[in-house]
Structure 1
Amino acid sequence: MVTEVPDRAVLPATSRWRAMAGWKKASLALVLLFAVLCAGLAVLGFGLKHRYESRVQREDILGQGAGPRDERRWDSGPLNLLLLGSDSRDGEPDQALYPGERSDTIMLVHINAKREAATVVSIPRDSYVDVPASGQSWPGGPNKINAAFAFGGAALTAETVARLAGVPLDGVLVANFAAVRKLVDAVDGVNVCLPYTVKSSDTGVTWPAGCHDLDGKAADDLMRQRHGVPGGDFGRIHDQQLVVRALAERVSTTGLLTKPARLDRVLTTAAESLIVDRDLDLGDLAFALRRLRPEAVQFVTVPFSDANLQTPAGSAVRLDEARAPELFAALREDRMAQWLVANPQTPPAN
């Protein structure tokens, strides 16, 4: 049993590392992977539950609409987690997602029934979909999917995604992209290889096609770009995925898992900026991920047919009426391995 430690305290390196079971160590790289996907803040799978869970903010996100927790899915079935992220800048009044703000990163993470592979499905934030009604703030109807957060917070976003994909949600995590800078710096930077040239509209920095060593500030800058990257918002999604992979590689090659004091700083940064659904048990999720390795995580974007759809809500993205339902069906039926073979992913085009 792991002994709970006082707030802000750090266990001696040897005792904390020995306290972790092997499967908890194996889960850690994926935890950091999720951390960057959700703005660097998903500490959910780490084995020292008592130390970090007290730092995580809890909210009733899934609520009654999700129904009771499905124990059969947690025991032996596939799992679906929703990761929501904001690209709010440091210094802005909100340090998480609040009513009135839109979610700029929406990712559905599917973990297969064998718990040996995961697929991270990015949903373009401007996808024009049906957003359910939310009290007096929104009567319901078609709108951009990221508007769901402005109308009803994470709860309405979760309901919108669940209806769109037709899958049950087993947990929701909400975070802010601002923390990615601290996480990347905590591992002494990452090496990101770009298949195209990206120019920052914020700082004027240009990253030619090729590999680049990035500190936290540069990685944060890269992942925010929409206008100076091929594919616009789809290019930004791809760049976020590249940084995720780079961080996973950095963790595995620098031996961060064997440096508990340094690792503690990374996970503390993540935990203190994370909002998790009230009913998501972090220990159960860690156990479910015990066989999953970073190299078994695949990234896809929901297929679309029109990236400049004109709507009453402004220019939006029309999801492909044939291929998007096929992807969602593969999620429901736990057939993502076959779908990925039939639908190889390529970098965004200009």
Structure 2
Amino acid sequence: MDDEHQDPAGTEPRGWFKRRSGWQKALIMLGVLVLILASGVAGGGYYLVSRYENKVDRATLLPSAAPEEAAQSKENWASGPLNLLLLGSDSRAPEAGGKSPIGERSDTIMLVHIARGRDKATIISIPRDSYVEVPAGGPWKGGKNKINAAFAYGGAALTATTVKKLTGVPLDGAMIANFASIRDLVDAVDGVNVCVPYDVRSTFSDRVWKQGCHDMNGDIAEEFMRQRYDVPGGDFGRIKNQQLVVQSVIRKVAEKNLLYKPLELDTLLGIAADSLTVDQNLDLRDLVLAVRDIRPGDIGYATVPYTSADLKTPAGAAVQLDTAAAAQMFAAVKSDTIDQWLAAHPQHQPGG
């Protein structure tokens, strides 16, 4: 759901956390899911995936691929780099074809790149308000719009087409993530400790997170991640906050060695599996193999470069992407050199 329909004044009742879902849960889920899946082909990973596979919803999330693209994707799963689309949605199960009710938008759009060597991954956030060319789909006739409008008009398939047009990166799989509540995941690891590089003041309560480290339970972590108006960088600061919580959850899972504690692992896998809708052609066992050697320090986070966060458009204020820098980033993804490109082009951090 867009912030235009949210309540920045903080007048919503406390139950709003239960009713909200999408980008917050999606990003957290992905980081933890990658690490959980990486836990263990050698330690029973196939059995665990089989056990929870029935909890994962299936839908057609990607448009039909040309024969040569399908063949290349099959080759990528065998020995090449992989690129997956992750969306966050307010709807638990999309309609056939991954379509969403008109008006529902995806608050998370991320490109997940898994290196050819299967030893590292990069999660690239595409700002949901990016002003891009959205191809025709549903009632939309095609043209410039915010990128998250693609989900409203044509579901996951149109979003995938839009992302491919923007990036030039072929997609090897797709997932939609949605949690019933972030508290279930964060509380399942007994809370997280998040280190904040700037002051954040809540617009929903009297909480203030001063620069430094803070213990957070599920409720507090979600409130922190939802801040936009009193965060350095606005929506980009919010993306940074998402990444901070992701890293904290992954670190907590590793510190507590939860991947090798059956009861705790059962809880985490159950939450992760129940939150996912997966493209019908994505084999979870193949995903296990692809990420089994990836560890917390092997996951990088980035945002598509931009030049303005307040571009005036017919669709309202939008994000103007940095065309040249973004093209370089996407070219690095295609050539499997994104980590080198990011090292050579360090990204500005909000509040930094």
TM-score using structure 2 length: 0.83
Q: Name the CA distance, whole Å, in 2 between partners of 1:158 and 1:65.
A: 11
- The alpha carbon displacement at 1:76 in A equals 1.0
Stretch moving more, 247-256 or 96-105: 96-105
Residue pair 1:41, 1:269 contacting (<8 A) in 2 also = no
Stretch moving more, 263-272 or 238-247: 263-272
Structure 1 portions without partners, runs of 5+:
1-32, 89-93
> Counterpart of 2:74?
71
User: Do structure 1's residue 194 and structure 2's residue 196 form an aligned pair?
Assistant: yes
Q: Name the CA distance, whole Å, in 2 between partners of 1:35 and 1:41.
A: 10
Q: Deviations over 1:105-156 (max 9, x none)?
A: 1111111111111111011010000111003x10011100011110011111
How many equivalent residue pairs?
311
User: Do structure 1's residue 234 and structure 2's residue 240 form an aligned pair?
Assistant: no
Q: Deviations over 1:292-326 (max 9, x none)?
A: 11101111110001111000000000000211111
Secondary structure in 2 matching 1:211: strand
Q: Deviations over 1:75-111 (max 9, x none)?
A: 111000111114x5xxxxx445632211111111111
Matches within 5 A, 1:38-77: 38=30, 47=46, 48-65=48-65, 67-68=69-70, 70-77=73-80
Q: 1:230 to 1:119 in 2, by over 3 A?
A: same
Matches within 5 A, 1:116-155: 116-135=119-138, 137-155=139-157
User: Do structure 1's residue 323 and structure 2's residue 325 form an aligned pair?
Assistant: yes
> Counterpart of 1:30?
none
Secondary structure in 1 matching 2:238: helix
> Counterpart of 2:117?
114
> Counterpart of 2:10?
none
Matched residue type, 1:341: A
User: Do structure 1's residue 334 and structure 2's residue 336 form an aligned pair?
Assistant: yes
Q: Name the CA distance, whole Å, in 2 between partners of 1:217 and 1:207.
A: 14
Matches within 5 A, 1:213-252: 213-252=215-254
Q: Name the CA distance, whole Å, in 1 between partners of 2:175 and 2:328.
A: 26
Q: 1:44 to 1:255 in 2, by over 3 A?
A: closer
> Counterpart of 1:264?
266
Secondary structure in 2 matching 1:164: helix
Secondary structure in 1 matching 2:136: coil
Percent identity for Structure 1 against Structure 2: 55
Q: Name the CA distance, whole Å, in 1 between partners of 2:327 and 2:27.
A: 28
Residue pair 1:120, 1:300 contacting (<8 A) in 2 also = yes
Q: Name the CA distance, whole Å, in 2 between partners of 1:57 and 1:309.
A: 37
- The alpha carbon displacement at 1:288 in A equals 1.2
> Counterpart of 1:36?
28
Residue pair 1:40, 1:179 contacting (<8 A) in 2 also = no
Structure 2 portions without partners, runs of 5+:
1-24, 39-44, 95-99
> Counterpart of 1:346?
348
Q: 1:102 to 1:272 in 2, by over 3 A?
A: same
- The alpha carbon displacement at 1:41 in A equals 6.8
Stretch moving more, 39-48 or 248-257: 39-48
Residue pair 2:26, 2:178 contacting (<8 A) in 1 also = no
Report runs of 4+ in structure 1 exceeding 4 Å deviation: 37-46
CA RMSD after TM alignment? 2.1
Q: Deviations over 1:212-267 (max 9, x none)?
A: 00001111111111112111100010000001100111011112112111211111
Residue pair 2:197, 2:351 contacting (<8 A) in 1 also = no
Secondary structure in 2 matching 1:328: helix
> Counterpart of 1:176?
178
Q: Name the CA distance, whole Å, in 1 between partners of 2:321 and 2:207.
A: 32
Matching residue within 250, 263, 278 for 2:280: 278
Residue pair 2:27, 2:242 contacting (<8 A) in 1 also = no
Secondary structure in 1 matching 2:275: coil
User: Do structure 1's residue 83 and structure 2's residue 75 form an aligned pair?
Assistant: no
TM-score using structure 1 length: 0.84
